[in-house]
Amino acid sequence: MPDLPLVTMLFIGVNLDFFVILLFLLQKYRFRDNLIGYELGMLLVFAISAVAGQLIQTVIPTWTIGFLGLLPIYMGIKGEDDDDPSKSTSKKGMIAVLLMYLISCGADNIAVYVPVLATMTTTAILLTTGYFIILTAISLILAYLFGQIPIIKHVFERWGSPISRIIYILIGLFVMFDTGLIQFIFNLL
């Protein structure tokens, strides 16, 4: 049986930053697309952590993961002409949410999950996976409800697109900095 307070704190700690991103994604894509993309992203990161986390960290230099930061930078620069969630295709929304989760949370979450999961039994890991699926859905519902507060909804309707573009660019830069890619490049010069 997993230590529920520990895994709850673990989930909240590694996904709190994505909660803010969800506020923007929920304005852009349908709830269902956000749910599927977020759940798939969380499951993928969790599976990588449980199965191959140690191997990834020893085989692939961390700084190379920083190149993934170029994806949200591209998304921020390119932007979207279509701000109406009802016009966004399901596949596009799910993929966008999945990619944003993987890019913004992937490496950090793996680094945090691996030491905790290394101490768990297979049964505890499977129970934690189910628990995380439930927590992911709850956090998405909370982000949706928070985004429906009139003042917040007004800010997102008026400024959501430019703010989300800036956040995408900042996420990309953060990933590139946090993984050591920028430092690696400066060391080459």
The number of helices, as runs of H, and strands, as runs of E, in the chain is: 8, 0
Segment 107-124 shows an average pLDDT of: 75
Altogether, the residues listed in the chain come to a count of 189
**Which token pair is 8?**
């709850």
With CA atoms as reference, report the closest residue to 84 among 2, 161, 19, 141: 161
Domain that holds residue 44: 4-188
Higher pLDDT, 7 or 140: 140
**Which token pair is 166?**
């800036």
The amino acid that residue 7 corresponds to is V
User: Where do we find the tokens 């959501």?
Assistant: 160
When divided into structural domains, the chain yields a total of: 1
pTM of the model: 0.69
Distance, first Cα to last Cα, the chain: 51
**pLDDT reported for residue 170:** 80
CA 83, distance to chain mean position in Å, is: 21
Q: 41: exposed, middle or buried (C-beta count within 10 Å: 0-12, 13-18, 19+)? A: buried
Task: Give the pLDDT confidence of 12-66 residue by residue, as tens digits.
Answer: 877 877 888 888 888 889 999 999 999 999 999 888 888 754 555 567 677 777 7
> Running DSSP on this structure, what letter comes out for residue 84?
-
The amino acid that residue 161 corresponds to is S
